Amino acid sequence: MKITHTEIYRFSIPMEPFTIATGTMDHAQNIFIRVHTDAGFYGVGECSAFPMIVGETQDTCLVMARDFAKLWKDKDALDVSARLQQLHDFTAGNSTIKSAFDIALHDIAAKNAGLPLYQYLGGSVGEVESDITIGIATPVEMARRAVEFKQNGASVLKVKLGKDARTDVGRIQQIREAVGNEMKIRVDANQGWSFDDAVFALQGINPYNIEFCEQPMRTWYDDRLPELRKLSPVKIMADESVFNHHDARKQIESGSCDYINIKFSKSGGIFEAKKIHDIAAKHGIPCMMGGMLESRIALSAKLHFVYASPNIKFFDMDTCMLGHLADPCVGGVIYEGYHLKIADTPGIGADANEAFLAGCEKFVV
């Protein structure tokens, strides 16, 4: 099956401003692609550039997407590993835009097999309940948001921290007091603390029954994570420290983490995410499915991957609920409260709304 051409769209989604330790976003810097084949159908992919974390912007993704599309023209769409290796041979990094092309290939492969992607990957439907994320604000405002989410039926909160360790402890204290003891609370410092601040904050928030903390320090302090883990009463989840399965191996073998957060924007898509999942499973390290600011298109691919990945035990799949002011997806995953469901249609089962695409900058290669 030959790839004939690729459509590439600047897929900007307006959203309410969302703040983490490394910056604020007021729109989702996404890219949407359709990889067309001579079999008469195409595969869709989407990625969400988050420059403060991954170092890619929407513009860099658009440039690389056009280069990738040229590489793939007239090549076999069903040889997934060879197509992805072409991208890796062409450029190091750029995992965010690579993930859109990876998702599109998997969509093609599953459609060709006439199967939903999770079945193509050997999985089965399971129960998936996402957390809901609270961005950094004043302790009072964050506690207010937490109560709103609780009243809306949420049972798991993910709280962004990392601005100031002392205030962060106060944020968690106020949130816990506001929502009571039943809700699960997990935190994400997004590399915001120094080693000493991380020790202070993790010990300070421990009395409030915290499930785990994601990425407490900058990745250049990875060598100090084993020491921090020994001093922390809160379990540590590696996020920015793990882009690929080699990173996962190093984190696990050095005793640096209890859990790993898998994101397609870091791994470059499903193919490498499966390797991270498998090496973590081998060592008894549970994983979380996370993301950036994707629409329900990429979210659909993530849900299929979760169904095929039994070692994913935590679900941070609320990206479309974080203030997106438009929904550019047709079909795909749906939310029932904070639970995720998807129909058994071939491929990832999602596509872009043509009316939304009409307003997007488009390139065809």
Query: Which candidate in 7, 107, 168, 188 is catalytic?
Result: 188
Instruction: Please answer whether residues 226 and 256 qualify as being in contact, where contact means their C-beta atoms are separated by less than 8 angstroms.
Output: yes
Annotated active-site residue 75? The verdict is no
Q: Can you spell out the DSSP letters for 138-179?
A: -HHHHHHHHHHHHHTT--EEEEE--S-HHHHHHHHHHHHHHH
Neighbours of 341 (CB within 10 A): 12
Closest among 218, 208, 211 to 239, alpha carbons compared: 218
Residue 282 DSSP SS3 = helix
Query: Which candidate in 102, 131, 168, 214 is catalytic?
Result: 214
Q: What distances in angstroms separate CA 149 from CA 144, 191, 291, 304, 314, one per listed residue?
A: 9, 25, 20, 26, 18
Annotated active-site residue 188? The verdict is yes
Instruction: Please answer whether residues 282 and 258 qualify as being in contact, where contact means their C-beta atoms are separated by less than 8 angstroms.
Output: no
User: Going by DSSP bridges, is the β-strand pair 3-20/362-364 parallel, antiparallel, or unpaired?
Assistant: antiparallel
Annotated active-site residue 214? The verdict is yes
Query: Which candidate in 263, 294, 318, 351 is catalytic?
Result: 263
- Helices and strands per DSSP (H, E), number in the chain: 14, 16
- Cα distance between residue 340 and residue 306, in whole Å: 11
Backbone angles phi, psi at 287, to 5 degrees: -120, 165
Annotated active-site residue 250? The verdict is no
Closest among 228, 242, 211 to 165, alpha carbons compared: 228
Beta bridge partners of 48: 30
Instruction: Please answer whether residues 201 and 30 qualify as being in contact, where contact means their C-beta atoms are separated by less than 8 angstroms.
Output: no
Annotated active-site residue 70? The verdict is no
In the chain, which residue ranges form alpha helices assigned H by DSSP? 51-54, 58-72, 80-90, 95-113, 117-120, 139-151, 165-179, 195-205, 225-231, 245-253, 264-267, 270-282, 296-307, 354-357
232 Cβ neighbours under 8 A, 6+ residues apart: 198, 199, 202, 203, 213, 216
Closest among 25, 32, 58, 71 to 332, alpha carbons compared: 32
- Cα distance between residue 65 and residue 60, in whole Å: 8
Query: Which candidate in 160, 240, 302, 316 is catalytic?
Result: 160
Active site residues: 160, 188, 214, 239, 263
